[in-house]
Chains A and B, each alone.
Chain A
Amino acid sequence: MKNIKFDFSVVPFDFSHKVIFLSLFVLGNIASTSHAQTEDSRPDLNGNWANGSGIDFVRDVKIGDSICMVDCEEAPAAPAGPFAAPDRPSYKPEAMAKVKDLTERQVEEDPILKCLSPGVPRIGPPDKIVQQEDQIVFLYDDVNGNYFRVIPTDGRGHRTDVEASALGYAIGHWDGDTLVVETENFDDTTWLTDDGSFHTTDLKVTERIRRDGDNLHWDVTVYDPSILNEPWQLRPRVATLTDLEIIQAPPCIERDLDIMQNMSHHPNPR
């Protein structure tokens, strides 16, 4: 091997220091973004994540004192053309009648409008992640309130001694730099999407979550083989790191058309 020698004496002092500091600066930035890690050398998912309010077409744009939340012509970053088609699972023919009925009666049947949990994956990527060595906590500020999921990552299996629930029971493990969250033990009170996409108690959901700098990639596959033609892979979603802290949500109050019509309700629920 050729022995390369470098004579530092010929390099101006200021220049060598600039090179060293520049190198440290670059390395520091790489460490704090692309490869942020926890003390146990896992990818660091801690933080608040802007997730489009759980809906992929909400992108806030500030225009002077104005704020556009959806589809503003004035927004310089406004996407051209129509929205992408809704992301929906493919149902077996025998399940379609129920989907159609629920879709047509969405106002009466949508669990969210009854202040029930949105379920998984409808809830979207987490608003905040708190990561510890043996567990990860997902926190949400969703359309009808706050929700949480405590996800063990210590190698344990799914518990069988807990009741089925809207958000199911989740366990996690690391696949390289990707957190894999597997959830089951769901009840059947939630929908997969906004439009009557019901599921059974056999539902299983796999979320693959990977951090790339200030982006959090959320890739989800839904399994419900008795009613779906095939596993449903959701359109990939990306949440971005934000300084906006999650807060306690206001109350969720189910309102119906009769109340709206006669306007006799009391505006303050308490």
Chain B
Amino acid sequence: MSILINKDTRLLVQGITGNEGLFHTTQMVAYGTNVVAGVTPGKGGEWVLDGKVPVFDSVKLAVEATGANCSVIFVPARFAPDAMFEAADAGIPLIVCITEGVPVQDMMRVRNYIDQKGVRLIGPNCPGLLTPGEAKVGIIPGNIAVPGNVGVVSRSGTLTYEVLYALKLVGMGASTCVGIGGDPINGTNFIDVLEMFEHDPQTEKVVLIGEIGGTDEDKAAEYIAAHMTKPVVAFIAGQTAPPGKRMGHAGAIIEGSAGSAADKIRALEAAGVKVAKHPEEIPSLLK
């Protein structure tokens, strides 16, 4: 068992013929992910990866022909909102948007729309999903994680890789890794994923990687205290970030003391979560 994706996932890639789309499709297929289709408007009828994956003009056509049940989006920011609307309208139940730099107001419209449709969106501005040994949807390097019983959920991209890699180095594996993305408005938050891990039999422990800005970590702490039976270890990035400065992620901004790393760490520790001083300390806290 795992959450969100597994070897039966039938993946569609939006923006499959672009540079990033093609590179990462190759990686996902090499990992063993069942990539059934790609979409690039105007390139329907072509094939990529030596004739292995058919390209369609629209998500609707791709779903009809291949029964795709998950979509990963690699299109540029200005086209990404439309790609998310299109996937939702075509009946894709799980959408993973890798694209970074999507305007916030677009994301508010997307999020409110897909919530009405009952669609699950991961991201945007995220590394995607990895169920080691089964499937990867997105850009997490496959070779940095092995199958195991640790569920990983993170707002960051490369920082997540650090953690997976640190786990692997000590022989610990992951059930599923979920990168929820660092934008202020995204599709899935910590609580959504914590709940899935709590109910997943393969997951025995959970790692939560947060960062400054917003209140998602505080809400996660409340949820953990009230509902989680599995142990949770956390790391919060941005402990030295100066207040009021925007540290790249549109979401990682602290105004005054609200959203500071210290506040989040306090809230998590109060909920019984062990908080690591740096990412490589996480494996020892899980033991």
Q: Do A and B come from one complex?
A: no
* A→B interface (CB under 8 Å): none
